[in-house]
Amino acid sequence: MVNDLDFAQRLIAWQKLHGRKGLPWQGTRDPYRVWLSEIMLQQTQVATVIPYYQRFLERFPTLADLAAAPVDEVMPLWSGLGYYARARNLHKCAQVLVTKHGAEFPRDAALIAELPGIGRSTANAIASFCFAAQTPILDGNVKRVFARCFGIEGFPGTPKIERAMWTLAGQLMPATDTATYTQAQMDLGATICTRGKPLCARCPLNDLCVANREGRVAELPTPRPKKTVPEREGIFLIMQSEHGILLEQRPPSGIWGGLLCLPELPAGADAAQHVQQHYGVTAQQWQELPALRHTFTHFHLTLRPLHARVTQLPAAMEGNLRWLAAADHAAAALPTPIRTLLARQR
């Protein structure tokens, strides 16, 4: 069994020499900035997050600024980052912190975890980085390091394996240098103990690692059990007028919640009749365009665009409809595949 203290001290020493130091959210104990980075980094690579993080803080430099803004101003800054419920929960959480906590994060990790959109590991990371709390984390990077170093078999997403890893994370947590240790775990998984092509020769734990010793690095962690990913498709209407392309704001929940989207044609409906009845738009010259396939976490979606020229505008626009000119595409809150379809029209 790996010595608990040895494990932590090796990681702390490695972090001080080789860990990442120049990320824009490092070097701060501001819970707002740490929280923002932790939420953005969920399921998203660091290189992708950095420009989003910087733009977000330029627009909302403080927690109070974010809470005071309408959610419609938040969503465009998340466009393209994916997993849009994160942005809605971020905004809701900011409002809860302002109204119920005096615009301050609780110092207790358990209380932080009760806030909208914040799970146990994220709450513990905030408490560790900002309040020097002795609170372990268990994100994907840590699970991968644990599975390999300790030879833990079984998919880490199952409740049994996750409970065991949480117990182990608590046992390994040092009494001091908690923020450095927390960052070390993240950095080791992101830069050394990677999913593919891990750099075992440079790992500070290589002589302790069960997977390295037994030649099982490629086997661990145990992959997610394979299952058939559903295939879906939808017809999306690209209706173009002199004012731009007609977009519809989607409901707050569900796929692309709160974002602007091309209207989707119900299955079996006639496009010309549907848009006349539901949007008051007369459109002609309907043309099928090349399809676009987009992969979500739990299904694949094939978008089949239909393009038309608008010959008669509606008498009045509904509140969730708007014309978007090509010049405004970059700043609009658009899902990535919709942005791709619109870019093809330029």
Which residues are identified as catalytic?
38
SS (H, E, C) 44-84: CCHHHHHHHHHHHHHHCCCHHHHHHCCHHHHHHHHCCCCCC
Tell which residue, 65, 45, 62, 14, has the closest CA to residue 181.
14
CA distances from 196 to 56, 141, 190, 199 (A): 31, 12, 11, 9
Q: What's the helix, strand, coil split of the chain in %, to 5? A: 45, 15, 40
Residue 248 near residue 263, CB atoms below 8 Å: yes
List, in sequence order, every beta strand (DSSP E) within 116-261. Answer: 231-241, 244-249, 260-261
Residue 87 near residue 96, CB atoms below 8 Å: no
C-alpha to C-alpha distance for 50 and 31, rounded to whole angstroms: 17
Residue written as token pair 């900011």: 94
Q: Residue 225 corresponds to which amino acid?
A: P
